Chain A
Amino acid sequence: MGDLLSVHDLETRFRTREGIVHAVNGVSFQLKKGETLGIVGESGCGKSVSVLSMLRLIPTPPGRIVAGRVMYQGKDMLKMTDDGIRHIRGSKISMVFQDPMTSLNPVMKIGQQVSEPLVVHEGLGRKQAFDRAAEILELVKIPNAKDRLNDYPHQFSGGMRQRVVIAMGLICNPQILIADEPTTALDVTIQAQITELIKKIRDELGMAIIWITHDLGVVAGLADRVVVMYGGLIIEEAPTKMLYDNPSHPYTIGLMESLPRMDKTRARRLTSIEGIPPVLMENPRYCPFAPRCKFVVSRCRHERPQLLPIGEDGHHVACWLDPHTGRENE
């Protein structure tokens, strides 16, 4: 299967009062048809900015996409006209945001909000659009969907609101659904409801998903492939099982070890990664993880490692060392 979407060397910067923040520093990845890709990283690692840049949703200024290509259906989305990209956003590629409280318009009825993409993209009449909205709300398991079309967002609970937002993302039958921490603001039992729901819908409709999260647990059961980001760069990429069986970047290893595990007997102590994530005031010319890395060698502080394949199929790591053997990578 060919790539549905491919991102090449994306770079995004923000101008702030303290200087220029290099949020994304050359990110490349591909998404295949029907695939679920997890993007994992801590706050400020550039995971959200990467996908927002893809869809050109970065507020400009202060943000600016300085380099890169985002190829979708043979066209570079970064070079499209505003009108062109508007045809893609919300219909071919749609997005679900973290906070269901702020991503809905509080003074607009649910039915109108959910059906709006249909009116805009497919030119449907009000009546038809509302009928489809009711169907899609049923799909995301909102009880009495038909009667609730005339309700306002405040009449829904957090979990229900996130379902509405997902319904809005699905209504034009997109090829790609981008979910930016869609369950972070929710309680665990509601989070389980939403992830199960998305899995079911994915299997029914067959769309591709990009799922952004800071929680290595959530993507474990959901993604086919996982990308780990740090300091505005992808530092490791692998099929999900391979990544969890054999994490190979010191940061990924540290992250996995620092998690308390319910599936294992209790460790006496958690292994922590010392130090704090970097503030990216310059484009890192060296490995951004070097200041916190246990395995650091002098080369790490001078040269930036490229994301290169290691051993197994589809496993890529950006590190000068093989932390399992302690030897330098080629």
Chain B
Amino acid sequence: MSEQEVLLILKDLVKHFPIRQGIIFKRETGAVHAVDGVSFDIYKGETLGLVGESGCGKSTTGRAIMRLFKPTSGQIVFDGVNLVDLPTEEMRKTRKNLQMIFQDPYACLNPRMTVGNMIGEAMVIHRVGGRNEIRDRVTDLLQKVGLDPAFSNRYPHEFSGGQRQRIGIARALALEPKLIVCDEPISALDVSIQAQVVNLLEDLQEDFGLTYLFIAHDLSMVHHIADRVAVMYLGVIVEIADCTELWDHPLHPYTLALMSAVPIPNPRLEEKRKRIILEGDVPSPINPPSGCRFRTRCNLVQDVCAEEKPEMREMTPGHFVACHMV
């Protein structure tokens, strides 16, 4: 792994959303600790899967990387440049290299813009190429994502969910980005369409040498697409490892529970399977538990878990886990 080139370094990323109360004089009465000290690297050309349940901060992490908002603290080093302190104008230029694919193919396309204008918009904004060049590029991109170039004059409502997701992908590709943050790109799609879109993402990665941060809650899909996987729980990363390593030797109790909760389409296996059923719900991120975030639902919990925050430790090369009990 070490000889690989690092594209993005996330260091102690923190994002708190303030909670304000009062009508005229809004006081800050607390904060939602959406992301609380997340660090990881993304290597050039790889797919890093980021998994966790809803509310664990995985989307917030993705959006912070895009600088869709300013993180509370921490560093986001992309290609050697720290994005956090970058002035707006500089950031806009850098954003060419960072693109995002969103979850909801119905909400992420402007209903009043034609497909062609939408895909070409980024090129107009960044002043890449003239009108003809943009038109050619749109044609090219539509073909790449498996759509008919004649569709470029149509509006989003004329397309199905899977086709819209393809449009969103074409739009993300327009400026030849280096990193694409895929925020649950397939979870709104039907089962038979999911495989189509995942295959497309894999093909494009090969053709353009793209790097993906693949955010998802569906572990089986992450298992398929990712090279490395980071597991998130309540704003922190609890385990990060090579995909096969994580599947063969999961260490963190939360990872184990998460993996055993995924239903397997095989009745014979399901029959014999011993599941770890977690009790209760994810605690509120407004007032997260002290020490280890997972301790309230963990079956291995000890006194030390409440007192001390577990540090990330490297167990085998490239396999990091944050747990006192491992």
> A-side interface residues toward B, CB under 8 Å?
42-43, 157, 159-160, 187-193, 195-196, 214-218, 220-221, 240-241, 244, 254-256, 258-263, 266-267, 269-274, 276-277
Contacting pair A255 B192 (CB below 8 A): yes
A-B contact pairs, 24 of them (CB 8 A): A42-B192, A157-B281, A187-B282, A188-B53, A189-B278, A192-B261, A192-B277, A195-B263, A220-B267, A221-B264, A221-B270, A244-B267, A244-B268, A255-B191, A258-B192, A259-B220, A259-B265, A260-B225, A261-B265, A262-B259, A262-B262, A266-B223, A266-B224, A277-B192
Query: Most B CB atoms within 10 A — which of A221, A244, A262, A263?
Result: A262
Cβ of B293 under 8 Å from chain A? no
Contacting pair B224 A270 (CB below 8 A): yes
Contact residues in B for A160 (Cβ distance below 8 Å)? 281
Contacting pair B266 A196 (CB below 8 A): no
Cβ of B195 under 8 Å from chain A? yes
Contacting pair A221 B273 (CB below 8 A): yes
Contacting pair A217 B261 (CB below 8 A): no
Contact residues in A for B264 (Cβ distance below 8 Å)? 217, 220-221, 261-263
Smallest CB-CB separation from B222: which chain A residue?
A260
Secondary structure call for the B interface: helix
Contacting pair A188 B262 (CB below 8 A): yes
Smallest CB-CB separation from B276: which chain A residue?
A192
- Category for how many chain B residues contact A: 35 or more
Give which listed residue, A193, A241, A260, contacts B224 with CB less than 8 A: A260
A238 CA to B275 CA, complexed, in Å: 26
The verdict on A221 contacting B191 (CB below 8 Å), with A262-B220, A263-B269 known, is no
Chain B nearest CB from A122 CB (Å) reads 33
Cβ of B257 under 8 Å from chain A? yes
Chain A nearest CB from B95 CB (Å) reads 31
> Could you say which of B34-42, B196-204, B311-319 contacts chain A?
B196-204
The verdict on A274 contacting B196 (CB below 8 Å), with A187-B217, A192-B277, A220-B265 known, is yes
Cβ of B193 under 8 Å from chain A? yes
Residues 272-290 of B at the A interface (beta carbon under 8 Å): 273, 275, 277-278, 281-282
